[in-house]
Structure 1
Amino acid sequence: MNELPSPRLRGVKKNDLRRIAELEAKAFGSYGVIDNDLKVMFDPSGPLWMLAEDDEAIWGYSVNLRAADPTVGWIAGMAIHPARQRHGWGQLLLQATIDRLHDYDMRVIRLLVKPSNKVARRLYENFGFIDTGERDNHFGPEEPRMLMSLLLDHPVASPRIRPEVPADPDAFAVTGGTTCE
Structure 2
Amino acid sequence: MGTNEPPRLRGVLKEDLSAIADLEATAFGTNGLTRNALDVIFDPSGAFWLLAEDEEGVWGHSVNARGEDPHVGWILGMAVHPERQGRGWGRILLQASIDRLQDSDINVIRLLVKRTNKLAYRLYESFGFVDSGERADHFGPGEDRLVMSLLLSTEKPPKGQSSPPFPQVPVDPQDTGRTLNGVAAGPQIPRDDAQKWYS
TM-score, normalised to structure 1's length?
Answer: 0.91
Aligned-partner Cα distance in 2 for 1:172–1:154: 21
The one-letter code of the counterpart of 2:17 is L
Q: Is the 8 A contact 1:50 1:63 kept in 2?
A: yes
Q: Is the 8 A contact 1:9 1:51 kept in 2?
A: yes
Range moving further from structure 2, 157-166 or 93-102 = 157-166
Q: Is the 8 A contact 1:67 1:74 kept in 2?
A: yes
Aligned-residue offset at 1:14: 0.9
Aligned-partner Cα distance in 2 for 1:109–1:41: 18
SS in 2 for 1:65: strand
Identity of aligned residues (%): 58
Q: What is the CA deviation profile of residues 101-158 of structure 1, one whole-angstrom value per residue up to 9, with x for unaligned ones?
A: 0011100000000000000000000000000111221111111100000000013397
Q: Structure 2 regions of 5+ residues with no counterpart?
A: 175-184, 191-197
SS in 2 for 1:150: strand
Cα distance, 1:159–1:112 mapped onto 2, change above 3 Å: farther
Aligned-partner Cα distance in 2 for 1:133–1:2: 38
Cα distance, 1:146–1:159 mapped onto 2, change above 3 Å: farther
- 2:93 matched residue in structure 1: 93
Range moving further from structure 2, 135-144 or 124-133 = 135-144
Aligned-residue offset at 1:160: 8.1
The one-letter code of the counterpart of 1:125 is E
SS in 2 for 1:41: helix
Q: What value does the CA root-mean-square deviation take over the aligned residues? A: 2.2
Q: Aligned residue pairs: how many? A: 178
Aligned match for 1:161, one of 159, 165, 172: 165
Q: What is the CA deviation profile of residues 7-28 of structure 1, one whole-angstrom value per residue up to 9, with x for unaligned ones?
A: 0011111111010000000001
The one-letter code of the counterpart of 1:6 is P
Which structure would you say has the larger Rg?
A: 2
Matched ranges for 1:127-166 at <5 A: 127-156=127-156, 161-166=165-170
Matched, 1:4 2:4: yes
Aligned match for 1:174, one of 177, 183, 188: 188
Q: Structure 1 regions of 5+ residues with no counterpart?
A: none
The one-letter code of the counterpart of 2:173 is P
Runs of 4 or more above 2 Å deviation:
155-160, 169-173
- 2:103 matched residue in structure 1: 103
Aligned-partner Cα distance in 1 for 2:49–2:134: 25
Aligned-partner Cα distance in 2 for 1:110–1:159: 20
The one-letter code of the counterpart of 1:162 is F
Aligned-partner Cα distance in 2 for 1:119–1:75: 17
Q: Is the 8 A contact 2:27 2:79 kept in 1?
A: yes
- 2:42 matched residue in structure 1: 42
Matched, 1:66 2:70: no
Aligned-residue offset at 1:29: 0.4
SS in 1 for 2:86: coil
